[in-house]
C-alpha cells in the first residue's frame, strides 16, 4: 500500500520514508537519491514561494530530458503552482503561444533552451523570471536570467508551508497542435496519483523495477509511463537525453532495466537493428508497454 500526501509533488513519499538513500534517478554517471530528490523539490518550491508564485499560478518548463526537469516539476507542484511542460521540439511560434496561453508566471529552461527561452519570454510581460541552467564549463548565464544552481542554493530544504488541495490543478501539458493550436490539458493531483496507482497495481511494479525514459519528458508517454510509476513504487528511472536505438539498448544492459515504454516508432527502430540484441544483454526486461499512437499488428 502506498500512502502519499495530497500533492502529486509528493508521489514518492513511501520510498522517501522506506529507502531514502536508494537511487531514484540515473542519468549517465549522475545519480539522484530519493532524499536528494526530496530536498531539491523542496528548494524549487520554496524558491517559487519566495518569488511570489501563488497557488494556481502556472510555471512553464522548456526542457530537454534531464533529471532537473523532474525536480522542477515536483517542486512546482509542491508550491501549489501548476507545472506546464513544453516540448522543446516545438517551433518558436508554438512555444510562445503556450507560454502566453497558459498565463505562465515563470519559466525554467534546460541548458540548451535557456537562450531561446529568454527570447520568447521577453515578449510576455507577465513572466516574472527565467531560471536557466548553465552548461558545464560554459559561459555565465545572461544577466537577465536567474542561474538555477544559485537560485536553488538560496532556497531552503524544508517542506514548503502550503496546503495542497487533492483536487486542485497540478499539471497542464499541451497537445501537439497537429489539428490546430496546442490545447492545454488540465490534470489534478488526485487523478494523477490514482492513475499511477492503478498502473502500478495492474502491471505489478515493485521497488526492484527500473524503467527507462528516452521519449521527451515533456510528453505523457515518458512521465506517465516511465517516471511517475517508478517514483510511486520506489523503483528507479533511467533518463536518456534523447532516443537512439543503440544507446537505448546499451542503457538497458548497463542499468539492468526491467521495464520499457515508448511510442511505436521507437520500437520499430529498435527491431530494425537485430544485431543490437547480439551485442547487448536485455534479459532484465520483463515488461514493455507501447502507446501514444496506433500500433501495427506485426509490432
For the chain, state the CA radius of gyration.
19
Q: Is the dihedral of CA 123, 130, 137, 68 positive or negative?
A: negative
For residue 144, tell me if it sits in a domain.
Answer: yes
- pLDDT (0 to 100) of residue 141: 61
pLDDT-based confidence at residue 296 (cuts at 50, 70, 90): low
How far is residue 25's CA from residue 244's CA, in Å, rounded to a whole number? 19
Percentage of the chain exceeding pLDDT 90: 73
Classify each residue of 33-48 as buried b or exposed e, where b means 16 or more C-beta atoms within 10 Å of its C-beta. Answer: bbbbbbbbbbbbbbbb
**What's the domain count of the chain?**
1
Instruction: Give the domain range for residue 48.
Output: 36-185
Q: Rounded to an integer, what distance in angstroms lies between the CA atom of residue 291 and that of residue 182?
A: 20
The arithmetic mean of pLDDT across residues 242-259, rounded, is 97
Q: Could you tell me the three cell numbers for 34? A: 530519493
165 within domain boundaries: yes
Residue 70 pLDDT? 97
pLDDT of residue 182: 85
Place 3 in a pLDDT band, splitting at 50, 70 and 90: very low
Mean pLDDT over 46-68 rounds to 96
Q: Is the dihedral of CA 197, 201, 207, 211 positive or negative?
A: negative
Q: Of 114, 105, 66, give the one whose Cα is nearest residue 83.
A: 105
Question: Stretch 206-226: mean pLDDT, rounded?
Answer: 91
> Which pLDDT belongs to residue 1?
40
- Cα(270)–Cα(255) distance, integer angstroms: 18
Q: Is 109 helix (H, G, I), strand (E, B) or coil?
A: strand
196-200 mean pLDDT: 94
CA distances from 77 to 54, 133, 148, 248 (A): 11, 20, 18, 30
Q: What angle do CA 264, 270, 275 make, to 5 degrees?
A: 160
Distance, in Å, from the CA atom of 160 to the CA atom of 220, rounded to the nearest integer, reads 26
Per the DSSP assignment, residues forming a β-bridge with 215 are: none
CB atoms within 10 A of CB 204: 10
> Is residue 151 situated within a structural domain?
yes
What's the pLDDT band for 293 if we cut at 50, 70, 90? low
For the stretch 119-169, pLDDT in tens is 999 888 889 889 988 766 555 566 667 889 889 999 999 999 999 999 999
Direct distance between the N- and C-terminal alpha carbons of the chain, in angstroms, rounded to an integer: 34
Tell me what pLDDT residue 290 has. 80
Q: Which of 73-77, 140-144, 202-206, 246-250 has the least mean pLDDT?
A: 140-144
pLDDT at 16 over 70: yes
In a domain, 256, yes or no: no
Please report the pLDDT score of residue 263 as a whole number: 85
- 181 located within any domain: yes
Report pLDDT for 147: 87
Query: In the chain, pLDDT over 70 holds for what percent of residues?
Result: 91
Q: What's the CATH code of the domain at 78?
A: 3.40.50.980
Contact 221, 211 (CB under 8 A): no
pLDDT at 135: 63
Residue 81: exposure state from Cβ atoms within 10 A (0-12, 13-18, ≥19): buried
pLDDT average, residue stretch 49-74? 96
State the average pLDDT for the chain: 91
- The whole-number pLDDT of residue 247 equals 98
- What span, in angstroms and rounded, lies between the C-alpha atoms of 133 and 145? 9
Within a domain: 121 = yes
pLDDT of residue 44 exceeding 70, the answer is: yes
Domain assignment of residue 22, yes or no: no
Query: Could you give the C-alpha distances from 121 to 26, 270, 284, in angstroms and in order?
Result: 31, 38, 44
44 is a domain residue: yes
Range with the poorest average pLDDT among 44-58, 100-114, 170-184: 170-184
Amino acid at each position: 500500500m502506498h500512502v502519499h500526501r495530497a500533492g502529486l509533488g509528493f508521489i514518492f513519499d513511501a520510498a522517501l520514508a522506506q529507502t531514502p538513500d536508494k537511487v531514484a534517478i540515473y542519468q549517465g554517471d549522475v545519480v539522484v537519491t530519493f532524499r536528494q530528490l526530496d530536498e531539491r523539490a523542496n528548494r524549487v518550491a520554496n524558491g517559487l514561494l519566495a518569488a511570489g508564485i501563488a497557488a494556481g499560478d502556472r510555471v512553464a518548463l522548456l526542457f530537454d530530458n534531464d533529471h532537473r526537469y523532474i525536480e522542477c516539476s515536483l517542486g512546482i507542484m509542491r508550491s501549489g503552482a501548476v507545472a506546464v511542460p513544453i516540448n522543446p521540439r516545438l517551433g518558436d511560434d508554438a512555444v510562445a503561444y503556450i507560454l502566453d496561453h497558459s498565463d505562465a508566471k515563470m519559466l525554467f529552461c534546460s541548458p540548451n533552451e535557456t537562450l531561446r527561452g529568454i527570447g520568447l519570454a521577453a515578449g510576455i510581460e507577465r513572466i516574472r523570471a527565467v531560471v536557466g541552467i548553465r552548461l558545464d564549463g560554459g559561459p555565465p548565464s545572461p544577466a537577465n536570467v536567474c542561474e538555477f544552481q544559485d537560485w536553488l542554493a538560496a532556497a531552503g530544504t524544508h517542506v514548503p508551508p502550503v496546503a495542497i488541495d487533492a483536487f486542485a490543478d497540478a499539471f497542464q501539458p499541451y497537445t501537439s497542435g497537429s489539428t490546430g493550436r496546442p490545447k492545454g490539458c488540465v490534470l489534478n493531483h488526485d487523478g494523477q496519483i490514482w492513475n499511477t496507482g492503478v498502473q502500478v497495481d495492474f502491471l505489478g511494479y515493485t521497488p526492484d523495477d527500473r524503467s527507462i525514459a528516452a521519449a521527451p519528458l515533456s510528453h505523457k508517454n515518458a512521465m506517465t509511463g516511465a517516471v511517475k510509476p517508478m517514483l510511486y513504487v520506489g523503483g528507479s528511472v533511467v533518463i536518456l537525453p534523447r532516443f537512439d536505438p543503440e544507446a537505448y539498448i546499451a542503457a538497458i544492459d548497463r542499468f539492468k532495466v526491467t521495464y520499457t515504454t515508448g511510442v511505436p516508432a521507437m520500437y520499430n527502430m529498435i527491431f530494425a537493428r537485430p544485431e543490437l540484441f547480439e551485442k547487448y544483454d536485455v534479459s532484465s526486461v520483463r515488461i514493455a508497454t507501447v502507446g501514444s499512437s496506433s500500433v501495427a499488428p506485426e509490432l
